[in-house]
Chains A and B, each alone.
Chain A
Amino acid sequence: MFDIVIRNGLVVDGEGGPGVLADLAIQDGRIAAIGQNLGEGKQTLDATGRVVAPGFIDPHTHFDAQLLWDGQARPALEHGVTSVIPGNCSLSLAPLKIADRATVVGMFQQIEEMPPEAFTEKFAKWTWEDFAGYCAAIEPDLAINVAPLVGHSLIRLWVMGAESQQRAATADEIVAMQALLRQCLRDRAIGLSTSFVDVDANGRPVPSRFAEFAELDALCQVLGEEGGKMLQVVPEFYDADITIARIDQLADFSLKHGIPTTFSPVFDSHATPKAAPRILDRVAEQFARGARVWPQMQTRPIDISFSMLNPSLFLARLPRWVRVLRQPLEQRIAALNDPATRASMIADCGPDGGEAMFGRLVVRGGDRAPEAYVGRRLGDIARERGEGAAEAAIKISCENGLDVAFLAANGGHDDTGRIGPMLANPLVHIGASDGGAHLASFSTYGDTGYLFSEFVRASGDFTLEQAVKKITADTADIWGIKDRGRLKPGLAADVVVFDADTIARLEERPVHDVPGNGLRYIRSATGVDAVLVNGAVVYADGAYTDARPGAICN
């Protein structure tokens, strides 16, 4: 008798071929058989009318800290994500000497927007210094699989201390970094991440940005010697020309050391419409040379968020608003409360009272946003209040100390007609979700559901099977994860059962579930019936289970 049998589902195995109606049997955490009329199981899941697919793999996350208090990486798991890769952008939580913890916590607070309490309340388990110790600290409570990268900034900080943010490394220090990286890889790191962009809590470049070419080359040599491990990079993504120069550099590393490389983010912008296509053209040229330089592109559009507390360029097209919002806070509040100034600002928005520009905004949060307004369109709220949309935006802000955040959905990377074909490009790696980061700015969950709702069902850029392949087998192959990403007998039983007609991400909402009562924005899933990790049900019928079958994998 099998442990679990999933019956009568459309089995989409991750390789891109047509789905097949079949049962799938699981034994001892692995896929035991796929076929018709398989024998009995101790547990049976009915998948009639549902898709049975490999668990999705998210290659770009920052769950490093969250995994210490939440081994389910909520809400990633309920979206069907069964494996995550944290440690991106040069930042991991190991190897890390006790003396340097505050430095790295500052970097995480800057990037992940976590309150300091999250680190003081929940880091009682912070027992490790080395990479093996970090893996040992998180592994017992994992419900999701984790394939962690080791961060270049951490490697540098360990070897050079405070000088890692001041200067280039000496030859001896580079040798020490090579030895440390080698040890991390042997302690199950899946690769190395580095960044040419990120800053710490004080606005200083993170340690990896002080590395000279020779240092990165030497570290890539170790990645090659240890079996061709991944190099993940954040290039100067705001400039297409520099990004293209980095692509060439990564290609040279890839060819010289026999390693895969990946960079992120790549996103489409109406303001620079040639940028993403140029970047992808260069990627194609480098693949033609034999290099592996995988660009990561997110599926979700970028939403713009702003409040009147911190002036945003979102309002920069309105001259009278510019004059008011660039004033120091005290004068700004006074101006916004002045009826004559308000009237002139509203007049600036045109004859519709700002309905076109402000009516579509959503009140999304902020520490003082009225709960009754959160998640609702400003246009609807304004009508309730008997005000125009722009007037309501000003008054609601003033009534709440300006600490009310507004969201303009689909501000960028939102042209499905352009993005669909880019995502479908076989050289584009779907990723860059940033799961577990940007906590107080926007939700980084549900990109997989959006792939199906927008690019399978709405636009048809992908078939169901192609979409599944893109976020399962393709991801596993790119990263060298040999045991996952496909439904084949003998492989780990990471499985998601979902409704192809409804799988999607739900509306964004604020929650205060970060230790220290910290705010984050999340999106729950819909259309996902069950999620299994290593043969155990971790999510079913809308609820998480107590199972903790996750593992460190690489």
Chain B
Amino acid sequence: MSADGAVVRTAEAIAREAIIVGAELAAAHDGQAELVVSIRYPNGVVGHVLLDADAGYALMRSCEIDDLGGLAGQSWRKILEGVKTCSTS
């Protein structure tokens, strides 16, 4: 923890985190476009998280990007931040 109380994560801890490795657009069951975000976990497994339009755009805002290509390399925590913003807006 830093002097002002903020949580500080070490480089090692960050390296142990799940990382977004890509995102693709797909068609959802309800006829909407959805974002399939691929996440690589520290053990090497790649999983997927599906986001609707609100959550997808919120994730992009949270990452401060307007190009899907910019999601690669971002922490999985950005998804949480985006979804939280989206659910409280």
Contacts and interface: CB of A to CB of B under 8 A. Distances in A.
B60 to A, nearest CB: 7
A311 B53 contact: yes
Interface in B4-39: 24-36
Interface residues of B, number: 25
- Name B's interface SS: mixed
B33 A306 contact: yes
A270 B34 CA distance: 12
Given A313-B53, A322-B57, A322-B60, A302 B24 contact: no
Contact of B36 (A241, A269, A310): A269
B29 A267 contact: yes
A271 B49 CA distance: 11
Contacts of A326: 57, 60-61
Given A272-B48, A322-B66, A411 B33 contact: yes
Contacts, number: 87
Nearest to B36: A271
Contacts of A270: 24, 26
Given A313-B56, A322-B66, A326-B57, A302 B36 contact: no
B27 A304 contact: yes
A425 interface: no
A504 B30 CA distance: 23
Given A271-B36, A310-B53, A323-B66, A302 B31 contact: yes
Nearest to B61: A326
Contacts of A241: 47
A312 B36 CA distance: 14
B12 to A, nearest CB: 28
A311 B33 CA distance: 10
Nearest to A111: B30
Contacts of B26: 269-272, 411-412
B31 A304 contact: yes
Given A267-B29, A271-B24, A310-B53, A316 B35 contact: yes
B9 to A, nearest CB: 27
A317 B26 CA distance: 12
Contacts of A438: 30-31
Most buried by B among A271, A302, A317, A441: A271
Given A306-B33, A323-B66, A269 B27 contact: yes
Contact of A313 (B31, B35, B67): B35
Interface of B: 24-36, 47-48, 50, 52-53, 56-57, 60-61, 66-68
16 contacts: A241-B47, A271-B24, A271-B48, A303-B27, A303-B31, A304-B33, A312-B33, A313-B35, A316-B35, A317-B25, A322-B57, A323-B66, A412-B26, A412-B27, A413-B27, A438-B31
- Among all A-B residue pairs, the 3 with the closest Cβ atoms: A412-B27, A411-B27, A271-B26
